Amino acid sequence: MNIKEKSLAYFKCFSDKNLEELEKFFSDDIYLRDWDIEEKGIKNVLEANKKIFDNVENINVKPLNIYEQKNFIIAELEILVNDIDKLLVVDIIRFNESLMIDSIKAFKG
């Protein structure tokens, strides 16, 4: 599985709100930053995701464009929250040499 395929699988697990499967994508020292969150370490990042999932009925991540460069993915996403609120987001995802996600930076817009 290449990093683009792995990213698509990650977005599906996120949409499914599946923390067990998400954990399999993350390196132990993963870093997550968005407009509200900044966390480091797999336990803290999973807890941040759990808080997001607990606060929404459903969430659907739709990749609009994915750009691949070495060990990075830049993904333009449309995220639909509770079938009502649409967010346009850009994720910059970095993979380590073991193809585990070690950094996710998300930006609105």
Question: Could you report the per-residue pLDDT of 49-78, keeping only the tens digit for each?
Answer: 999 999 999 999 999 999 999 999 999 999
Q: What's the predicted TM-score (pTM) here?
A: 0.94
Q: Is 54 exposed, middle or buried (0-12, 13-18, 19+ CB in 10 A)?
A: exposed
pLDDT tens, 79-94?
Answer: 999 999 999 999 999 9
- 3-class SS at 15? helix
| Mean pLDDT value across residues 19-34 | 97
